[in-house]
Structure 1
Amino acid sequence: MKRTINHIVALSLIVLITVSCSSGASLQRYFVDNQETKNFISQDIPLSMIEIDKSAFSEEQKEAYNSVSKLNFLGYKADENSAEEFKAEIETVKAILSDSKYKDLMEFSDKGNKISVKYIGDDDEADEVILFGSSKDMGFAVVRILGNDMSPDKMVTLVSAMQTANVDENQIQDIMNFFK
């Protein structure tokens, strides 16, 4: 009898775990599935490795910058031979980011490139901030921003500050060369 009860409990736990795990696509799964795929580049970048001139940052922007610990970068290089694949990959990322757990933070265009910023979390604290940028000529990139005590409001000001910040491009030369 004790053995039967143990089997029932074990089976119940397995069923519970299986049902509770989402089988839908996730951004993290997309990163893992494509990190070594042709036309993709993937890098994990500790923010401490990137020198950024923060002298023009406000206190709020500095606080937001310091709350970020790591960037997960996944890029797709578009070329004339992969137009259909490029469209399919963009649609896949857009479908993932259309999930209700990704909340819109801001969208903008910069030099013909479309960029959207989303986050996972609540209005007070973001667990993860996602930047998705695309260009028909170059391809697209998805950046997962991970850290502690990230505030969505402060992230908006940080993204705005980063657009004009002085970043030494030599630090991210591998990524830049990939898109050339």
Structure 2
Amino acid sequence: MKMSIKFVFTLFCLSLVLVSCKDENSIQTYFVDHQELPEFTSFDVSAKLVDFSNANLTEEEKDAYESIRKLDILAYRVNDKNKDKYQLELNKAKTVLNNKKYEELMEFKDNGVNVKISTIGDNDTVDEFLVLASSKEVGFTVIRVLGDDMKPEELIKLTNKLQNADVDQGQLNNLMDFFK
């Protein structure tokens, strides 16, 4: 009798753990569920894609650069045959980014591209940036910028230095070729 009570209790606890770990509206789940689908392409990009050695960075900018670990990119290309599915998939991505654990940082439109940036972290530091960029003509891209204690204001300053940095074009060309 004791054995069956222990077994049932253990099974119940295990079930709770497994059910609570599955978050259908997490960006990680979205990436895993979509990265192998034929309309999508995905890339894992090292933060070292950009070489700032010639950019003359301040200590704060160096710290900002070193706080970034990697970028995960998931892209969907729209064409005449999948326009209805494009809107459905875009709505799924938007639903994920509307999850309450992601805090919206900003949303804007530039040259027909809608961009939404959300974060995971506290008020001063961020562990993950989520970017959703979409265009009816091209498709959409979800970018996860993963790091440790990233500071948004320092990363913005760092982007100004990109014009003086060397970028590994090989990894970026794969993404650009996908949208052609």
TM-score by length of 2: 0.84
After superposition, the C-alpha distances for 1:72-99 in whole angstroms (9 at most, x for unaligned) are 0000111122110110011001111111
Identity %, equivalent residues: 35
Does residue 75 (structure 1) correspond to residue 75 (structure 2)? The answer is yes
2:49–2:167 Cα contact (<8 Å) kept: no
Shift of residue 4 of structure 1?
3.4
Does residue 161 (structure 1) correspond to residue 144 (structure 2)? The answer is no
- Give the whole-Å Cα distance in 1 for the aligned partners of 2:70 and 2:42: 13
Shift of residue 66 of structure 1?
1.7
- Give the whole-Å Cα distance in 2 for the aligned partners of 1:80 and 1:54: 43
Q: Specify the alignment match of 1:129 in structure 2.
A: 129
2:75–2:142 Cα contact (<8 Å) kept: yes
Shift of residue 149 of structure 1?
1.7
Would the alpha carbon gap of residues 29 and 82 (structure 1) be closer, same or farther in structure 2, given more than 3 Å must change? Answer: same
Q: What SS does the corresponding residue of 1:81 show, helix, strand or coil? A: coil
2:106–2:116 Cα contact (<8 Å) kept: yes
Q: Specify the alignment match of 1:26 in structure 2.
A: 26
Q: Specify the alignment match of 2:105 in structure 1.
A: 105
- Give the whole-Å Cα distance in 2 for the aligned partners of 1:39 and 1:50: 28
2:116–2:133 Cα contact (<8 Å) kept: yes
1:74–1:141 Cα contact (<8 Å) kept: yes
Would the alpha carbon gap of residues 54 and 147 (structure 1) be closer, same or farther in structure 2, given more than 3 Å must change? Answer: farther
Q: Specify the alignment match of 1:170 in structure 2.
A: 169
The farther-off stretch of 59-68 and 111-120 is: 59-68
RMSD, matched Cα? 2.5
2:23–2:29 Cα contact (<8 Å) kept: no
2:50–2:165 Cα contact (<8 Å) kept: no
TM-score by length of 1: 0.84
Q: Specify the alignment match of 1:179 in structure 2.
A: 179
Structure 1 gap segments, 5+ residues each = none
- Give the whole-Å Cα distance in 2 for the aligned partners of 1:86 and 1:66: 35
2:50–2:168 Cα contact (<8 Å) kept: no
